A and B are shown apart, each in its own frame.
Chain A
């Protein structure tokens, strides 16, 4: 069973606040991902990382930033939250660097509401 954790699970904050969504995995996976998803809707890749000190922007433009200082940790930060950021954020990881073969394991998600 995959071990990937996200905190907080739910977050309600006011506009303009800085927030960090945490994601950690204990599987030693090289690759990690952040997706944005309105509940039950399409997943949009916003950031990914192939290893320590590697970060890339995904297909969907996002005002968030990420860092990858440790293999197991891939936090996402919003410097100034806005109501348009209200969504579910899913973190995932997969083993690498063996190519596209490996499935992604997902965390439980963080449901963010910005008032």
Chain B
């Protein structure tokens, strides 16, 4: 069955520290897609990145980077030099062609960046 686990419920760091948010997924499909979303206190979910199962290249976007490893079924998200504005709940999600193409979301990790 499809499942997304985010073992870290809450993380607190001090500004400028690096932080990694873990995401582990389960799927039987060979074709699937992984996503990260950010939900700031305003409540709206903001799309950050998509990765397909055939592309294991790591990606960097500014202070954000993502490490996708099929061998460990993980899709971790690192924020470098964290800022207070990074404080939010972050959700990892999985989508599969053979699961009605709907998303399975992880439970989220609440990140607090302290000044």
By a beta-carbon cutoff of 8 Å, the part of chain A in contact with chain B is: 31, 33, 39-43, 45, 48, 58, 88, 90, 92, 96, 99-101, 103-109, 111
A42 touching B108 by the CB < 8 A rule? yes
B103 touching A104 by the CB < 8 A rule? yes
Q: Mark B28-63, 1 if CB is under 8 A from A, else 0.
A: 000111010101001111110010100000000000
- CB within 8 A of A40: which of B33, B96, B108? B108
A40 touching B39 by the CB < 8 A rule? yes
Which A residues lie within 8 Å of B32 (CB)?
Answer: 100
How many chain B residues touch A (CB < 8 A): the figure is 28
Which A residues lie within 8 Å of B106 (CB)?
Answer: 42
B43 touching A100 by the CB < 8 A rule? no
B89 touching A40 by the CB < 8 A rule? yes
A99 touching B101 by the CB < 8 A rule? yes
Task: Please judge, given known A-B contacts A40-B89, A40-B110, whether A105 and B47 are in contact too, CB under 8 Å.
Answer: yes
Q: Which residue of B lies closest to A111 (CB)?
A: B43
B97 touching A100 by the CB < 8 A rule? yes
By a beta-carbon cutoff of 8 Å, the part of chain B in contact with chain A is: 31-33, 35, 37, 39, 42-47, 50, 52, 89, 91, 95-97, 99, 101-103, 105-108, 110
Given contacts A45-B102, A104-B103, A108-B44, 17 further A-B contacts (CB under 8 A): A31-B101, A33-B103, A39-B43, A40-B108, A42-B107, A42-B108, A96-B101, A100-B31, A100-B33, A100-B97, A101-B95, A103-B47, A104-B45, A106-B46, A107-B44, A108-B43, A109-B43
Complex A-B: 28 CB contacts under 8 Å: A31-B101, A39-B43, A40-B39, A40-B89, A40-B108, A40-B110, A41-B108, A42-B106, A42-B107, A45-B102, A58-B102, A90-B45, A99-B97, A99-B101, A100-B32, A100-B33, A100-B95, A100-B96, A100-B97, A100-B99, A101-B50, A101-B52, A103-B50, A106-B44, A106-B46, A107-B44, A108-B44, A109-B43
